Amino acid sequence: MSTSERPSVRRSSVRTGVVWDAVTARIEPGASVVDIGGGTGGFAVRLAQQGHPVTVVDPSPDALAALGRRADEAGVADLVTGVQGDLTDLGAHVGPGSADVVLCHGVLEVVPDPGAALGTIAGVLREGGLLSLLVAQRHAAVVARAMAGHFQQALALLDDPDYRVGAGGRGRRYTADEVIALLADAGFAVEATQAVRVFADLVPGSLLDLEPGATAALVDLERAVAGRSEYLPLATQVHLLATR
Ligand SMILES: C[S@@+](CC[C@H](N)C(=O)[O-])C[C@H]1O[C@@H](n2cnc3c(N)ncnc32)[C@H](O)[C@@H]1O
């Protein structure tokens, strides 16, 4: 089985395809990138392969070790820098106004003060620099809990962005309006908003694994609805591009 045929790779393409397309369509050649909470480097290494210098700031030593291995294997270790750090102390690792692009994917959910975190990101971006922000959306989580028969959890989630499902539950979930307001308060102008994973989490993994061509067709469908506002409330995640 080739790498691109592996189920995990196929599922990853469904989850990240829309975001990757939007970022790579907008990013300028050679632009410097800071990937805050970039983890094991799924985005960072691919961007480095396109010639971008990328700094990944992440608190997890394990994730940073995996990032280093991945960058080595891809032959881009010279372009990828891993730094152990936190969004709240980003300014200690990245100079003020120095980044062309900041990626903040799946992190605003876990910081204690999202408004302050966006202010910190604005501080390291150069004027006119680009923020790619990906956050968990509350509406889809309500639907998912209800469809699983957890009606009380769905009810609790409706209006409580911090409601956690179980002890290890994920952090804050946003509506698109909430995150757009937070961005405006931090001085960002939103350029684009798109729906991510509208169908992907509703489709059984076994269907994608067994049905030839199903993953590619699902990726096409996700692309087709990403920019349609009527699908935004159904999306597991909201992706925004914003400039400082
Ligand atoms: C859900 S994963 C997202 C990884 C990657 N950005 C992606 O979209 O696939 C969250 C990542 O954020 C990191 N993280 C957790 N708390 C953080 C914080 N306060 N500041 C920065 N990164 C954090 C975790 O170590 C993890 O790598």
Measured CA distances, 143 to 97, 137, 147, 156 (Å): 40, 11, 6, 12
Q: Domains in the chain, start-ordered, CATH in brackets?
A: 3-137+174-243 (3.40.50.150)
Q: Atom 7 (ligand 1): residue with closest C-alpha?
A: 105
pLDDT in tens, the chain (244 residues): 554 555 555 567 777 889 999 999 999 999 999 999 999 999 999 999 999 999 999 999 999 999 999 999 999 999 999 999 999 999 999 999 999 999 999 999 999 899 999 999 999 999 999 999 999 999 999 998 998 999 999 999 888 877 765 545 568 999 999 999 999 999 999 999 999 999 988 888 788 888 888 888 999 999 999 999 999 999 999 999 999 9
Q: In the structure, which protein residues have their CB atom closer than 6 angstroms to any atom of ligand 1?
A: 36-39, 42, 58-60, 63, 86-87, 105-107, 110-111
C-alpha of residue 90 to centroid of ligand 1, in Å: 13
Atom of ligand 1 nearest to the CA of 59: 25
Q: Which long-range contacts (CB under 8 A, 24 or more apart) does 188-191 make?
A: 188/118, 188/122, 188/131, 188/242, 188/243, 188/244, 189/242, 189/243, 190/240, 190/241, 190/242, 191/26, 191/241, 191/242, 191/243
Nearest CA to ligand 1 atom 22: 37
- For residue 38, which atom of ligand 1 is closest to its CA? 6
- Ligand 1 atom having least distance to the Cα of 86: 20
